[in-house]
C-alpha cells in the first residue's frame, strides 16, 4: 500500500494572536487531484506552507510521505508558490535546470529535460531568453516547469491559474492532466471554480481558517441548490410549483426559476404536470455548479464580500 | 543534537554557483572588474606619451624697480632643481639605505649629472625610467612695457609666438615702488584659479624680508640653513634585537617596520573585502526575496544550505572582483622578495608574510566574513525594498566603520590595550587580531580570539537563520521588526 503523500491532523496556526488555520484535518491519497478552494485569508497558503514544513503548526501534526515535513521529502515534491518569480538574468533553460538539479538531477540530464519541456509546452523560442525579457505568462509557465521538472510524486501548486490569460489557463489545465496521467498526486489551490470542477476528483473547501467541506466533486455539487426552469401559458403555474420549491424567481420572459426543496425532485414536477394536465412550454433542470455549492457551503455574505474583492 | 546545521554539499554548491554566476555573467561585473585595469593601462600610456594634461603657463614680469625679477626667476629655477633632486632620490627609494645616502651626498656635492651617473651604474633600469621634470611655469619677456599695453595678450586677443607655436599669456606680475619706497606687487590674470606665480612671488618677498631681518642681526639665511642641516638625528634601536652592547645590529630598519605596515594594509584589505562581500550579500538576498523564488527552493533545500550557499557564492565573487588587486599585490611582494634590489625590504616582506600571518589572515577573513555576512543576509531577508535595507543596515554599517578604527591605532600603538580588547569583540576581532600579529602576541591569545569569534559566528548564523526564515516567509519588510518591537518590548498592540 502506498504511503499517503500528505496528512494533516487537527492542525492550527495563529499569527500575532490571530488564528490563520483552525483545527484542519485531511489526508491526500496517492493519485488524487485535489482542488483546495477558498477565499483570500481562508488559510490555504498557510496550510500548504505547514504541509511543506516551511512553518510549524501551533498544534496538530503534519505528515509528508508519512514523516515530519523536511528533507525526507526533498526531491519528491514539486512546489509552485503563490507569489511568482524567477531570477531575472537567468535563461528559461537555466531556471528549469537549476531547480531540477537542486532536486537531485544530473546537469546534462537537467538541460536535456529543460529543452524537451520548453519544446513540448510551446516555449522553444524562450529557451535562451532571459526571464526578464519574457511575458508574464511565459515566465509563469517557466516557473511551473521548473517546479515540476524533476517529475515529483506530489505536486503542491498554490494558485497556479492566477494571472494567466484564458489560453494559458487551458495550457496549464493540459499540464495538470498530463501530470495526473502519470499517476502523480496533485493538490492545487484556486479561486476559479471551473478549473476545479473540470480537473479535480476531490474538493477541500476552506473558509475563515477552517475546512468547511471535503469530498468528491459530485458530493460538492450535491451541496448546491438544485434548480429547474419552468414556463407555461397556464396562469396557475406558480401555485402548481409551490409544494416543490423553496424559492421562486420570475424571469422577465415570465419563466420561473425554482430552487427545489431538499426532498423534491425535478422529475416529480414533470410527472405531476402530466397527471394534472398542466401544459409546460419549458422544462429545464439546471446543472449545479461548484460555485453554487461554494455559496451554499460558505454562505451568501462571504461570497458577496469575495465578489466585491474580485476573488470570484 | 548537532551543534551545526546539517547541509548537503551538492545543493550548497549549486546555490553558491548560481549566486556566483548570476553576477559574474553580467556586463556590470566585468565592467567594474576591467575598469581599474583599464585606468592603470591608460595611466601608464598617458605617462609615457607626449600628452600633457597641464601645459605650461607662460607669464611675464614687469619690474619697474629693476631689483626683483632676477631673484624671482632664480627662485623658480631653485624650485625646479629641488623637484629634480626629489625625483632622482625618490627613484632610489627601493634601493638600500647606504646607497640612498651616497646618492644624496653625491647630488648635493657633485651635482645632478654625477648623481644620475651613480644611479645609472647601480640600476640602469631606474635611471633610464627617469623623466626630466617638466616646467609648468615659464616666464617670458614682456611683449609690452605696461599692464595697460599687455591687456590684449592677457585677454588672449593677442598671443605669444614661442618655438613656432602660438601660446597665450596667462599672467603678468607688476612690481612698482610705492610712495613709502616699499615695493607694490600686483598680479594680473584672467586665470586666477591657478596661484603658482602668485605663490612664487609671495615666497620670494617673504624670503627677502627674512634675509633683511637676519642681516640686521649680522646673520645669513644660508648659514642658518647649513646649521639646521648639520644637527644630529635620532637613531631608533630595538633592545629585543640581537646585537652588541653598543647597540650595533639593534638599529630599527625598514625590515622591522615593514611587517607593521603590511599588517595595517592587510587589515584594511580584509575590511574592504568583508565590507564588499557583506554588501553584495545584502543586495543578493534582497533580490532573492523580491524574486519570490526562495519559497519554491525551500521545498527541496534546507535554510542552512541557502545561507551557506550564498555565503560561499558571494565570497567567491568578492575574491574574483578583488583578484586583479590581489594578484598584483602577490606578484609585487614576490618580486621584491626574489628580485628586489633592497635586501632590507625583502627581509621585511618575508617577515610580514609569515606562515602565521597567512594562516590567521585566511581564518579571520572567513570568520569575519561569515559574521558580518550572516547579519547582512538576515537583514536582507527582513527588507522588502532597498530603502528598508538601508535603514536596517545603518547600525551594523556604523559598527563596521567603528571597527576600522583599530587599524590606525594598531599601527601607531600595536601594544595598546584597546587592540587586545578589540581582538575579543566579535565585530572588531578580525582586524584587531591581524594588526596585532607583528607585535607577536601570545599564541593562546590569538587562538582564544579565534575560538571566541568562531563561537559568535555559530550564534549569529543560528539567529540569522531564524530571522531569515521569519523574514522570508512573512513577506513583509521593516514593519515586521517594528511590529515585533511594539508587541514584545513595548507590550502594545502592533
* CA-to-CA dists, residue A262 to A57, A218, A225, A247, angstroms: 39, 16, 8, 12
Residue A309: its pLDDT value, please?
53
| Core vs surface per residue B297-314: b (16+ CB within 10 A) or e | bbbbbbbbbbbbbbbbbb
Residues of B in contact with A110 (CB under 8 A): none
Residue A301: its pLDDT value, please?
64
Residues B475 and B337 in one domain: yes
State the cell numbers at B327: 594578484
Tell me if B24 is assigned to some domain: no
Contact of B300 with chain A, judged by CB distance below 8 Å, is answered with yes
Residues B454 and B320 in one domain: yes
Residue A70: its pLDDT value, please?
85
A 100-119 → B contacts, CB under 8 A: 101-103
Residues of A in contact with B468 (CB under 8 A): none
Answer yes or no: are the C-beta atoms of B322 and B273 closer than 8 Å. Answer: yes
pLDDT-derived band at B245 (thresholds 50, 70, 90) equals low
pLDDT tops 80 at residue A191:
no
Q: How far is A92 from chain B (nearest CA, A)?
A: 14
Q: What is the pLDDT of residues B457-468, one digit of tens each?
A: 988 888 888 887
The verdict on pTM exceeding 0.90 is: no
Q: 3-class SS at A33? A: strand
Residues B336 and B193 in one domain: no
pLDDT tops 90 at residue A266:
no
* The last residue of a domain, from among B187, B211, B227: B227
pLDDT tops 90 at residue A218:
no
State the cell numbers at B395: 547600525
State the cell numbers at A64: 509528508
**Residue B426, class by beta-carbon neighbours within 10 Å (0-12 exposed, 13-18 middle, 19+ buried)?**
buried
Contact of B283 with chain A, judged by CB distance below 8 Å, is answered with no
Q: How far is B463 from chain A (nearest CA, A)?
A: 16
Contact of B5 with chain A, judged by CB distance below 8 Å, is answered with no
Residue B158: its pLDDT value, please?
92
* The last residue of a domain, from among B192, B227, B262: B227
Q: 3-class SS at A3? A: coil
pLDDT tops 50 at residue A271:
yes
* Greatest extent of chain A over all pairs of C-alpha atoms, in Å: 76
Q: What is the pLDDT of residues B275-330, one digit of tens each?
A: 888 888 888 888 777 777 888 888 888 888 988 899 999 999 988 988 888 888 88
Give the residue among B302, B14, B388, B382 at the shortest CA–CA distance from A87: B14
Locus of grid cell 586666477: B192
- Candidates B14, B287, B296; nearest CB to A80: B296
Residue A116: its pLDDT value, please?
94
Residues B144 and B199 in one domain: yes
Residues B221 and B275 in one domain: no
pLDDT tops 80 at residue B70:
yes
Residues of B in contact with A153 (CB under 8 A): none
Tell me if B186 is assigned to some domain: yes
Can you tell me the distance from the alpha carbon of B18 to that of B62, in angstroms, rounded to the nearest whole number? 72
- Domain boundaries, position B375: 252-489
Contact of B482 with chain A, judged by CB distance below 8 Å, is answered with no
Residue B291: its pLDDT value, please?
74
Cβ within 8 Å of residue B21, ≥6 positions away = none
Residue A265: its pLDDT value, please?
84
Locus of grid cell 557583506: B278
- Candidates B6, B18, B302; nearest CB to A98: B18
State the cell numbers at B359: 594562516
Answer yes or no: are the C-beta atoms of B167 and B139 closer than 8 Å. Answer: no
Tell me if B281 is assigned to some domain: yes
* The last residue of a domain, from among B227, B262, B277: B227
Q: A225-287 adopts what CATH topology? A: Alpha-Beta Plaits (3.30.70)
Q: Are A71 and B302 an interchain contact pair (Cβ–Cβ within 8 Å)?
A: yes
Structural domain tally of chain B?
A: 2
Q: A6-221 adopts what CATH topology? A: Rossmann fold (3.40.50)
Helices (H), B66-133: 69-91, 97-110, 112-122, 124-128
- Candidates B6, B15, B22; nearest CB to A89: B22
Contact of B488 with chain A, judged by CB distance below 8 Å, is answered with no
| Mean pLDDT in residue range B354-381 | 89
From A155, which residue of chain B is nearest by alpha-carbon distance?
B299
Count other C-beta atoms under 10 Å from residue B98's C-beta: 9
pLDDT tops 90 at residue A307:
no
| Mean pLDDT in residue range B441-453 | 91
pLDDT tops 60 at residue A312:
no
Domain limits, chain A: 6-221, 225-287
- Determine which of A83-92, B117-126, B239-248, B394-403 has the lowest per-residue pLDDT on average: B239-248
Q: Are A89 and B18 an interchain contact pair (Cβ–Cβ within 8 Å)?
A: no
Residues of A in contact with B18 (CB under 8 A): 87, 90, 98
Instruction: Return mean pLDDT, chain A.
Output: 87
Residues B194 and B273 in one domain: no
| Mean pLDDT in residue range A103-124 | 92
End-to-end CA distance of chain B: 36
What percentage of chain A exceeds 70 in pLDDT?
A: 96
Instruction: Return mean pLDDT, chain B.
Output: 86
| Mean pLDDT in residue range A248-264 | 87
Residue B485: its pLDDT value, please?
67
Q: How far is A22 from chain B (nearest CA, A)?
A: 19
Residues B204 and B300 in one domain: no
Tell me if B359 is assigned to some domain: yes
Q: What is the pLDDT of residues B213-242, one digit of tens each?
A: 999 999 988 898 889 888 988 888 877 777
Q: Are B293 and A86 an interchain contact pair (Cβ–Cβ within 8 Å)?
A: yes
pLDDT-derived band at B60 (thresholds 50, 70, 90) equals very high
ipTM (interface predicted TM)? 0.78
State the cell numbers at A211: 475546512
Residue B1: its pLDDT value, please?
45
Contact of A130 with chain B, judged by CB distance below 8 Å, is answered with no
Tell me if B187 is assigned to some domain: yes
Residue B16: its pLDDT value, please?
94
Tell me if B192 is assigned to some domain: yes
Residues of B in contact with A99 (CB under 8 A): 296-297, 300
Which H helix or E strand runs over A158? Answer: strand A154-158
* Greatest extent of chain B over all pairs of C-alpha atoms, in Å: 97
Contact of B18 with chain A, judged by CB distance below 8 Å, is answered with yes
Contact of A233 with chain B, judged by CB distance below 8 Å, is answered with no
pLDDT tops 90 at residue B199:
yes
Give the residue among B214, B212, B150 at the shortest CA–CA distance from B182: B212
| Mean pLDDT in residue range A267-274 | 88
Locus of grid cell 468528491: A216
pLDDT tops 90 at residue A110:
yes
State the cell numbers at B455: 563561537
Residue A233: its pLDDT value, please?
87
Which of B299, B469, B470 has the highest number of chain A CBs within 10 A, making it the mutation to test binding with A? B299
Residue B280: its pLDDT value, please?
85
Locus of grid cell 651604474: B121
Q: Are B26 and A88 an interchain contact pair (Cβ–Cβ within 8 Å)?
A: no
Residues B331 and B437 in one domain: yes
Amino acid at each position: 500500500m502506498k504511503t499517503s503523500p500528505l496528512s494533516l491532523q487537527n492542525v492550527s496556526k495563529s499569527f500575532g494572536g490571530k488564528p490563520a488555520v483552525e483545527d484542519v484535518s485531511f489526508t491526500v491519497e496517492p493519485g488524487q487531484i485535489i482542488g483546495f478552494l477558498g477565499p483570500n485569508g481562508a488559510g490555504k497558503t498557510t496550510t500548504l506552507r505547514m504541509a511543506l514544513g516551511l512553518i510549524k503548526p501551533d498544534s496538530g501534526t503534519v505528515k509528508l510521505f508519512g514523516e515530519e515535513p523536511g528533507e525526507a521529502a526533498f526531491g519528491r515534491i514539486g512546489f509552485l508558490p503563490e507569489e511568482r518569480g524567477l531570477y531575472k538574468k537567468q535563461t528559461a533553460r537555466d531556471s528549469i535546470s537549476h531547480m531540477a538539479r537542486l532536486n537531485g538531477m544530473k546537469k546534462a540530464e537537467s538541460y536535456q529535460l529543460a529543452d524537451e519541456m520548453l519544446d513540448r509546452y510551446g516555449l522553444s523560442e524562450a529557451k535562451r531568453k532571459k526571464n526578464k525579457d519574457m511575458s508574464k505568462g511565459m515566465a509563469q509557465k517557466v516557473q511551473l516547469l521548473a517546479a515540476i521538472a524533476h517529475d515529483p510524486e506530489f505536486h503542491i501548486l498554490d494558485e497556479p491559474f492566477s494571472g494567466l490569460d484564458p489560453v494559458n489557463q487551458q495550457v496549464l489545465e493540459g499540464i495538470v492532466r498530463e501530470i495526473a496521467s502519470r499517476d502523480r498526486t496533485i493538490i492545487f489551490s484556486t479561486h476559479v471554480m471551473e478549473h476545479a470542477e473540470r480537473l479535480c476528483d476531490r474538493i477541500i473547501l476552506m473558509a475563515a481558517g477552517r475546512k468547511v467541506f471535503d469530498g468528491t466533486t459530485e458530493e460538492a455539487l450535491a451541496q448546491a441548490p438544485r434548480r429547474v426552469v419552468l414556463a407555461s401559458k397556464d396562469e396557475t403555474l406558480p401555485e402548481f410549483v409551490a409544494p416543490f420549491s423553496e424559492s421562486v424567481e420570475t424571469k422577465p420572459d415570465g419563466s420561473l426559476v425554482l430552487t427545489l426543496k431538499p426532498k423534491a425532485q425535478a422529475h416529480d414536477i414533470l410527472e405531476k404536470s402530466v397527471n394534472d394536465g398542466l401544459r409546460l412550454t419549458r422544462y429545464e433542470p439546471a446543472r449545479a455548479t461548484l460555485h453554487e455549492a461554494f455559496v451554499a457551503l460558505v454562505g451568501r455574505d462571504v461570497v458577496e464580500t469575495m465578489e466585491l474583492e474580485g476573488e470570484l | 543534537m548537532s551543534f551545526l546545521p546539517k547541509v548537503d554539499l551538492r545543493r550548497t554548491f549549486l546555490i553558491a554557483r548560481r549566486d556566483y554566476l548570476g553576477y559574474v555573467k553580467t556586463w556590470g561585473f566585468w565592467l567594474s572588474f576591467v575598469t581599474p585595469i583599464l585606468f592603470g593601462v591608460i595611466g601608464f600610456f598617458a605617462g609615457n606619451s607626449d600628452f600633457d594634461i597641464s601645459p605650461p603657463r607662460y607669464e611675464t614680469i614687469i619690474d619697474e624697480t629693476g631689483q626683483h625679477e632676477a631673484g624671482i626667476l632664480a627662485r623658480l629655477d631653485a624650485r625646479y632643481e629641488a623637484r629634480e633632486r626629489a625625483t632622482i632620490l625618490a627613484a632610489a627609494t627601493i634601493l638600500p639605505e647606504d646607497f640612498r645616502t651616497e646618492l644624496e651626498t653625491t647630488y648635493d656635492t657633485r651635482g645632478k649629472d654625477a648623481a644620475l651617473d651613480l644611479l645609472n651604474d647601480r640600476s640602469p633600469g631606474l635611471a633610464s625610467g627617469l623623466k626630466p621634470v617638466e616646467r609648468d611655469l615659464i616666464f617670458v619677456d614682456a611683449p609690452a612695457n605696461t599692464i595697460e599695453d599687455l591687456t590684449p595678450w592677457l585677454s588672449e586677443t593677442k598671443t605669444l609666438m614661442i618655438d613656432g607655436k602660438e601660446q597665450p599669456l596667462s599672467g603678468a606680475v607688476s612690481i612698482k615702488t610705492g610712495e613709502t619706497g616699499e615695493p607694490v606687487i600686483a598680479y594680473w590674470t584672467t586665470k586666477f584659479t591657478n596661484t603658482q606665480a602668485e605663490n612664487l612671488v609671495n615666497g620670494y618677498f617673504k624670503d627677502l624680508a627674512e634675509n633683511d631681518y637676519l642681516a640686521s642681526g649680522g646673520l645669513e639665511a644660508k648659514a642658518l640653513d647649513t646649521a639646521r642641516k648639520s644637527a644630529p638625528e635620532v637613531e631608533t634601536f630595538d633592545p629585543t634585537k640581537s646585537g652588541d652592547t653598543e647597540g650595533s645590529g639593534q638599529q630599527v630598519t625598514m625590515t622591522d617596520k615593514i611587517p607593521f605596515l603590511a599588517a595595517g594594509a592587510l587589515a584594511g584589505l580584509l575590511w574592504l573585502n568583508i565590507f564588499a562581500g557583506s554588501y553584495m550579500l545584502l543586495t543578493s538576498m534582497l533580490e532573492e526575496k523580491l524574486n519570490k523564488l526562495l519559497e519554491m527552493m525551500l521545498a527541496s533545500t534546507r535554510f542552512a544550505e541557502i545561507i551557506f550557499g550564498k555565503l560561499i557564492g558571494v565570497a567567491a565573487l568578492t575574491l574574483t572582483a578583488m583578484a586583479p588587486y590581489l594578484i598584483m599585490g602577490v606578484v609585487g611582494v614576490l618580486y621584491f622578495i626574489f628580485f628586489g634590489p633592497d635586501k632590507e625590504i625583502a627581509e621585511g616582506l618575508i617577515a610580514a608574510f609569515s606562515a602565521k600571518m597567512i594562516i590567521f589572515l585566511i581564518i579571520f577573513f572567513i570568520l569575519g566574513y561569515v559574521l558580518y555576512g550572516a547579519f547582512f543576509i538576515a537583514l536582507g531577508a527582513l527588507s522588502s525594498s532597498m530603502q528598508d535595507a538601508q535603514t536596517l543596515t545603518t547600525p551594523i554599517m556604523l559598527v563596521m566603520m567603528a571597527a576600522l578604527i583599530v587599524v590606525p591605532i594598531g599601527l601607531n600603538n600595536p601594544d595598546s590595550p584597546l587592540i587586545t580588547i578589540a581582538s575579543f569583540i566579535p565585530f572588531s576581532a578580525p582586524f584587531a587580531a591581524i594588526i596585532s600579529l607583528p607585535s607577536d602576541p601570545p599564541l593562546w591569545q590569538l587562538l582564544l580570539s579565534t575560538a571566541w569569534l568562531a563561537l559568535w559566528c555559530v550564534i549569529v548564523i543560528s539567529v540569522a537563520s531564524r530571522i531569515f526564515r521569519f523574514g522570508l516567509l512573512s513577506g513583509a519588510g521593516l514593519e515586521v521588526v517594528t511590529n515585533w518591537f511594539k508587541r514584545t518590548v513595548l507590550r502594545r498592540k502592533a
